[in-house]
Every structure is written in C-alpha cells, then in structure tokens.
Amino acid sequence: MIQFYSFVKKEFRHIFRDRRTILIMLGMPIVQIILFGFAISTELNNERVAVLDPSHDVLTHRITNEINASEYFSVVGNVSNADEVDAGFKKGNIDMALVFSPKYASKIPNGESHVQLIMDGSDPNMATTAAHYATSIIGDASKEQPTHVQNGIIPSIQLLYNPQMKSAYNFVPGVMGMILLLICAMMTSISIVREKETGTMEILLVSPMRPINIILAKMVPYMVLSFTNLLTILALARFVLHVPIAGNLILLLLISLLFIVVALSLGLFISTITQTQVAAMLVSAMMLMMPTMFFSGMVFPVENMPEPLQWLSCAMPARWYIQAVRKVMIEGVGVRYVLTEIGVLLGMAVLLLGVSLKLFKNRLA
C-alpha cells in the first residue's frame, strides 16, 4: 500500500510540474463549455432583411416595421429593383428580401397584390426557420385588417440557390474545410514532431539540404494528398450527392489551394510549440478541430453568436474558406464577390508561414 501511495504521489508531481498539462486538463474544459454554450445556437437572430417596396403605403410600412421590430430580423435598407436584391445576396449583405407588389394595399381587394419572401436556401435549416418566423410576423401584422386584406398578406416564399432544400448544399462546404484543415495541419505537425521526438530531425538537418527545404519537402506530400481529397470530395458532391458546382471550378480550386497553404502553415506553427506527437495531436484538436466545428459557420451560423464570439470566429481560417466555397460553389458568384475571403486567407497564409518559419529556425538554433 505504501508503494502504491508513493507511485500515485509521484504521478501527481509529474502532472503538476507540467503547467501545459494542467492547463489542458483543467482550463480547457472550462473555456470550451463557456464558449460553446454561447456559440451553439440554432435560434434565429438579426437576419439581415432588404425591402423592395414600390408602393410605400401604410400597410407595407406597418409590415416592414413589424419585421424590423422583431428580435429575429433587422431591416438593413430598401432596394429599388430586383437586380439590387440579387446583388445583395451575392455580396452576402442580406439574408432575406421582403418584396411587395406595386400599389400593394389598393390591389388586395382584387386579388392582384402579393408579398414575397426571398431566402438564401444554401442553409436550408435557417431558411426554413426564417420563413416560418417572417410569415408569423406578417400574419400578426394583418390581424387588425379586414378578412379580405388578411388573405392578400399571406406571403409566397422563394428559396435561392437551393430550392429543393437539400442539406448537402450546406454541409459539403463545411466538410471540405474540416477535412483539408485536419489533414494538412494535424498530420503535418505530427509528422514534423515525430522526427524531433525520435531524434531523426537532427540527422536530416546535418544533411546537405537547407532546413527550410527539409520542412517544405515534408509539407509537399500533405499538400498533394489534400488536393487529391479535394477533387474526390468535389466529385462525390457533384455525382453522388448531386450538389452542383454553380461557379467557376478553377476559382474554387485556387481558393482551396490557398486554404491548404494556410492549413500547412498552421501545422508548421503547431510543430514549433510542441515536442511530442501526443501534445501535437491535443493542440491540433483544441486549436483546430473543435473551434472549426463551432466557430466557422460550418454547423451554427456565426450571426447567431454574441458579438465577441463573432470577432473570435474571424480568426478561424475555415470560416473564410467555407464562406468562399458556399459563394462560388452554391451561389455561383464570380471572383469579385469573394475578394474579401481571398484577401483574408492570403493575409493569414503570409503571416502564419512567416511566423512559423521564424519560430522553427529559432528552435533549431
């Protein structure tokens, strides 16, 4: 019993000596339960609405004000034609459009007026929820009106980009981001740390090759493997899940290649702050896998999170990649509509690669 007690005491001392282990074991669960408790939300919140109202009568103003007063929607502006509605969706500035027919109120008795809700169907779950809430609000706004007026206020619903409401349209871009991130970052970091852990890294470094060339040579196979996985995912999405590639395929592949470079740089960075494969795997899971699932918009809309967590999500490379893939692959937009996402990913690639290589050289010295 004394020996058992001594062994247990020794193990506790080993654990308490390693502050990183204590932080992971005791600190990370607290952080995750707090962050995920706020981030995981399937409720609708502040959906951005554009209004096309050529009639500008009392009834349309009442409906618009009721929509804007709701906690679920926020009217971001008025548009003058259908082209502006289409541009708003492509730029990602709006989530829903409320469209009234000309001379709306005066034409209701003749059955010639209508109100239409145009939704972004690339996320079918959120589109369905938004349509339900909006229809309910519009219905409530009509309760004080005569019966023949109420019948004319019932909206028709149009879903853009995904009229069949297929869930694959939503999860395929997210799965692409998750797979590429895990393969590139996690496997690259483990591969490099394994060389340091077994002592073979020193043998490689005394070879005629420069250290930077050795590191890049270890990263290339994962880039090739990731690009192969990308092509496989796109083929399965197109021919098995029947998800169309509405935009330019070359643009989609270039954005994916840029994201792969970002993920490889992340893997190199993780390899500079860890010394064992287990530690590299734990850090990868904590820094990449879980945050990517919850803060990238892959599962839960970023707009539903509190504002501090929305800012935190901006630091997630997968958020910008998934956002760009949805625009190009599902919505079929051109390069000018994804310049923001490309710029952010490019900046992340340059910053991460520069910092990671600098830290790696310092560790070698």
Could you tell me if 199 and 102 lie in one domain? no
Same domain, 267 and 202: yes
What is the helix (H) or strand (E) element at residue 259, kind and residue range? helix 249-273
The residues that bridge with 73 in the sheet, in sequence order, are 47
Residues in the chain: 365
- In-domain check, residue 71: yes
- What is the tally of structural domains in the chain? 2
- 33 domain residue, yes or no: no
Residues 212 and 227 in one domain: yes
67 and 120 in a single domain? The answer is: yes
pLDDT tens, residue order, the chain (365 aa): 665 555 456 556 655 666 665 665 556 555 654 554 455 555 567 788 888 888 777 777 888 888 888 878 888 888 888 888 888 888 878 888 888 877 766 666 555 557 788 887 767 767 777 878 888 877 776 665 555 555 556 677 777 776 666 666 667 787 788 778 877 787 777 777 777 777 666 666 666 666 666 666 667 777 777 788 788 878 887 887 777 888 888 999 999 999 988 988 888 888 777 777 777 777 777 777 777 777 777 777 777 777 787 888 888 888 899 889 888 888 888 888 899 999 999 999 899 888 877 776 555 55
Is 34 a member of any domain? no
Which contiguous run of DSSP H or E holds residue 159?
A: strand 156-160
Q: What is the pLDDT of residue 167?
A: 62
Distance separating alpha carbons of residues 101 and 193, to the nearest angstrom = 64
pLDDT at 343: 93
Q: 10 is written with which tokens?
A: 């020794």
Q: Identify whether 5 is part of a domain.
A: no
Q: Please identify, among 137, 160, 183, the residue that sits at the C-terminal boundary of a domain.
A: 160
Distance CA 324, CA 91 (A): 11
Q: Is there a contact between 33 and 294 (Cβ–Cβ < 8 Å)?
A: no
Domain enclosing residue 269, as ranges: 167-364
- Regarding whether 176 and 155 lie in a shared domain, the answer is no
Give the per-residue pLDDT at 336: 87
Same domain, 326 and 209: yes
Any idea what the CATH number is for the domain that residue 110 is in?
A: 3.40.1710.10
pLDDT of residue 25: 52
- 251, two tokens: 């643009």
The pLDDT, as a whole number, for residue 8 is: 57
Distance between CA atoms of residues 303 and 86, nearest Å: 20
